[in-house]
Amino acid sequence: MLAALLAELQLRKDEFKNQTVETIYFGGGTPSLLTPDELQSLIDEVYNNYKVTDTPEITLEANPDDLTPGRLKALADLPINRLSIGIQSFYEDDLKLMNRAHNTQEAKKCLSVATRYFDNISVDLIYGIPGQTNERWLANVETALSFGIPHISSYALTVEPRTALENFIKKGLINNVDDDLAREQFYILVEKLEENGFIHYELSNFGKSGYFSKNNTSYWLGKPYLGIGPSAHSFDGNVRGWNVSNNTKYIQSILKNSVPIETEKLTLKDRYNECVMTGLRTIWGVSLEKIEKDFGTDFKKYLLEQADTYLNRNLLYLDGDKLLVCKNGKFLSDGIAADLFKID
């Protein structure tokens, strides 16, 4: 697999020859299982084949049970300068329900040690978990804050098909996800983090000044990106691509010097819809000037017509030429965006 990843980086360098790499992100699957030497070899291959900015953000996704003190020290000696840690919760009941491999003690020890070696750390937290009271959710957030973490990504629990969680709910062993409770906990999170100097810069992401995720921000601003490995997605501004998800098929194809990728050219409507969706999730909003420039006057007119109901209900507002979501509409951002889409 490692040899295939290195080979794909070489095979695809021409796709990115006009771009400067600003971020390198090891995510999806379990990248923290790679040895320091393996991680370094992948970083070196990027530098050998691509133009890289002087100060790239290099992030490693990891779970607390992977980040032992020795492991963290070894990672700190690499060019990696940001960790994204899947804490999810500091309560044993929640972790067991979500089938997480780590426990509360490992989560806390991991953060205690990680903060000695890394300044730029993000943690993931999940709200809306069955049985999770508002008080316990607030305690979760406060525990994360007690470690001085500068970035938090937080998501509502979703029940995926064919999982143990779905099975437990169907059998009545645990309650289903309560959307009203999830909404309450979302606003508890927003209030608590803003009190502590965090900026709610994207629907699910909160960062202190200077600690926004450059990698994720590039998605929301529509910048091109290159995804390496099985299931990885890429985007050049007009064409979206995704690698085959089967590991064996991926490796076999790369060994034949062929990238196993499917592509889809986005239509004008597709690009407009993505621009609206990503823009409304962020503090930068949707630029009416950009809509008119990129898609034409009719699209701008359509957007304002569709937004009118939400403007009157104080769920959207206009700030100059920017269309943004009001604070009380943030939890509904995706649903509001969908109503602004151009549909055939």
* C-alpha distance from residue 231 to each of 28, 241, 310 (Å): 9, 10, 37
Average pLDDT over residues 245-250: 97
pLDDT at 235 over 90: yes
pLDDT in the model for residue 167: 66
pLDDT in the model for residue 159: 63
Q: Supply φ then ψ for residue 196, to 5 degrees.
A: -100, 20
Q: What is the pLDDT of residues 59-87, one digit of tens each?
A: 999 999 999 999 999 999 999 999 999 99
Distance from C-alpha of 96 to C-alpha of 74, rounded to nearest angstrom: 29
Angle between helices 268-280 and 288-295 (to 10 degrees): 170
pLDDT in the model for residue 31: 86
Q: Output the DSSP codes for 102-127.
A: --HHHHHHHHHHHHHH-S-EEEEEEE
Average pLDDT over residues 214-235: 94
Q: How confident is the model at residue 300 (pLDDT cuts 50, 70, 90)?
A: very high
Average pLDDT over residues 169-182: 72
Q: How confident is the model at residue 275 (pLDDT cuts 50, 70, 90)?
A: very high
- Helix %, strand %, coil % of the chain (to 5): 50, 20, 30
Residue 185, CB-side half-sphere exposure with 13 Å CA sphere: 28
> Facing residues of 52 across strands?
21
For residue 254 the two structure tokens come to 């790369």
- Mean pLDDT rounded to a whole number for the chain: 94
Type and span of the H or E element at 267: none
Contact 149, 124 (CB under 8 A): no
- Give the chain's domains with CATH numbers: 20-220 (3.30.750.200), 268-340 (1.10.10.920)
Q: How confident is the model at residue 161 (pLDDT cuts 50, 70, 90)?
A: confident
pLDDT in the model for residue 296: 97
Q: What is the pLDDT of residues 307-320, one digit of tens each?
A: 999 999 999 999 99
pLDDT at 131 over 90: no
Q: Measuring CA to CA, which residue among 10, 244, 183, 59 is closest to residue 234?
A: 244
pLDDT at 33 over 60: yes
Q: Are strands 82-88 and 51-62 parallel, antiparallel or unpaired?
A: parallel
Contact 214, 161 (CB under 8 A): no
Distance from C-alpha of 324 to C-alpha of 147, rounded to nearest angstrom: 32
Contact 266, 250 (CB under 8 A): no
Q: How confident is the model at residue 179 (pLDDT cuts 50, 70, 90)?
A: confident
For residue 36 the two structure tokens come to 């320091």
Report how far Cα 305 is from the mean position of its chain's Cα atoms.
Answer: 31
Share of the chain above pLDDT 90, in %: 87
Average pLDDT over residues 95-99: 86
pLDDT at 89 over 80: yes
pLDDT at 211 over 70: yes
For residue 203 the two structure tokens come to 């629907």
Q: Are strands 121-127 and 82-88 parallel, antiparallel or unpaired?
A: parallel
pLDDT in the model for residue 169: 62
Q: Measuring CA to CA, which residue among 208, 211, 210, 212 is closest to residue 197?
A: 208
pLDDT in the model for residue 106: 95
Place of tokens 């709910």: 169
Contact 275, 222 (CB under 8 A): yes
Q: How many helices (H) and strands (E) does the chain have?
A: 14, 13
Average pLDDT over residues 83-109: 93
pLDDT at 293 over 70: yes
pLDDT at 172 over 80: no
pLDDT at 166 over 60: no
Distance from C-alpha of 35 to C-alpha of 268, rounded to nearest angstrom: 43
Quickly count: other Cβ atoms within 10 Å of residue 105's Cβ: 11
Q: Where are the beta strands (DSSP E) in 7-117?
A: 20-26, 51-62, 82-88
